[in-house]
Amino acid sequence: MAGIKLENLIKSYGDTRILHGIDADIADGEMIVVVGPSGCGKSTLLRMVAGLEAVTAGRILIGERVVNDLEPSQRDIAMVFQNYALYPHMTVRQNMAYGLKIRGMSRAEIARRVDEAADILELRPYLDRKPRQLSGGQRQRVAMGRAIVRHPQVFLFDEPLSNLDAKLRVQMRLEIRKLQRRLGVTSIYVTHDQVEAMTLGDRLMVLNKGVVEQFGSPIELYERPASVFVAGFIGSPAMNFLPVRVEGDAAILPNGARLPAPARAAGEATLGARPEHLTPDEAGPVAVEVEVLEQLGAATLVHGRLEGTQHEMTVQLDGVRAPEAGRIMRFAPGQLHLFDAASGKRLAD
């Protein structure tokens, strides 16, 4: 078993820099999730760890070894691809056995490991089928099986669930989590789905344009987002942002309403309030002109604008509510966040 260490990892294609110095220290057996919008460099980072992309600068360590110049096969990793990348002309059994056979393992040991993996993943009935005779979820499991039979030191996942339907995705998400816990293999999991990220990761690395915005536990990211970007990315529905002027310990909203400032600052700043942290209160300072209601059953989403301004706001209320559109609703703020107006960085509490 081994941890992973990334030291000032840089990737450029020609003159274009894709990753700008990534640092991370991943403990043995930990599962970290790299999350960020499309094109931010998540796959590139993962593929560098796998050895499928050359490292421009910096170091990658797996265990105590620097693996920068090692072939993928020498890094003792296994990877699950978004499109599963199963060998179409081989049966499920052959797919799983391929890597073991290359490593010259005995027939008996191969059979034992494949059967073990097939039991864990409930693939027994499908061992003699070709990939095209399997459903998406089953193929996904075969891809997992191919990874686990190798007993590698590191699992790498590149959006392995994004080709599945919503229900299967939730189910497989749980299975991956259980499996990773059970095997205790250090894992890096790439996704652009923040719910997947929150539920799977021991820690999350939020990546934006090749820069780490924040690296921490899901709760840390939720409660103390380091930047406007992280605050807006983590949590659903997304956080509300309003430009404010801070005077002493008051934050003044664009429509003149005054809220207690959550951090010390002076002048222009960005105030963040999560939709679920605004509570209906007749005397509350935040007035919202309601435009649209979304009934989700367990909750109701109120979409509207800050009274007297064009700033859009979303509020999440428990249960079924029916405030008619056009009405003004007032809210009291719970937890608030304050960010620097220019850099978007969190201001110290």
Ligand X SMILES: Nc1ncnc2c1ncn2[C@@H]1O[C@H](COP(=O)(O)OP(=O)(O)OP(=O)(O)O)[C@@H](O)[C@H]1O
Site string for ligand X, 133-172 (x = CB under 6 A): ----------------------------------------
Task: Work out whether 180 is an interface residue with Mg ion (CB under 5 A).
Answer: no
Nearer to other proteins, 71 or 282 (CB): 71
Q: What amino acid occupies position 84?
A: Y
Min. distance of Cβ 73 from other proteins in angstroms?
Answer: 4
Nearer to other proteins, 81 or 222 (CB): 81
**In the block, which residue shows the tokens 């409660």?**
223
Close Cβ partners of 347 (under 8 Å, ≥ 6 residues apart): 263, 264, 265, 269, 338, 339, 340
Cα dist. 242→23, 130, 167, 177, 269 in Å? 32, 55, 35, 37, 9
User: Which of 150, 274, 337, 346 forms a contact with other proteins (CB under 8 A)?
Assistant: 150
Q: What are 246's two structure tokens?
A: 């801070």
Task: Work out whether 72 is an interface residue with other proteins (CB under 8 A).
Answer: yes
- 220 half-sphere exposure, CB direction, 13 A CA radius: 12
Give the strands of the sheet with 154-158, arranged side by side: 77-80, 154-158, 186-191, 31-35, 203-208, 211-216
Distance CA 223, CA 281 (A): 23
Task: Work out whether 83 is an interface residue with ligand X (CB under 6 A).
Answer: no
Query: Under DSSP, is residue 91 helix (H, G, I), strand (E, B) or coil?
Result: coil
- 116 forms bridges with which residues in the sheet? none
Stretch that binds ligand X, among 36-44, 116-124, 275-283, 339-347 (CB under 6 A): 36-44
Nearer to ligand X, 14 or 88 (CB): 14
- Helix 166-183 crosses helix 136-148 at what angle (to 10 degrees)? 10
User: With CB cut-offs between 5 and 8 Å by kind, which of other proteins, ligand X, Mg ion, none does residue 99 bind?
Assistant: other proteins
- Find out whether the peptide bond into 333 is cis, omega within 30 degrees of 0: no
Residues 184-203 that bind ligand X (CB under 6 A): 192
Nearer to ligand X, 54 or 320 (CB): 54
Min. distance of Cβ 268 from other proteins in angstroms?
Answer: 47
Min. distance of Cβ 335 from other proteins in angstroms?
Answer: 43
Nearer to ligand X, 30 or 159 (CB): 159
Q: What are 141's two structure tokens?
A: 């499991």
User: Which of 2, 9, 24, 43 forms a contact with Mg ion (CB under 5 A)?
Assistant: 43
> Rounded to the nearest 5°, which phi and psi values hold at 189?
-125, 125
Which residues here bind Mg ion, judged by CB under 5 A?
Answer: 43
Give the residues lining the site for other proteins (CB under 8 A). 50-52, 71-73, 77-79, 81-83, 85-89, 98-99, 102-103, 130, 132, 146, 150
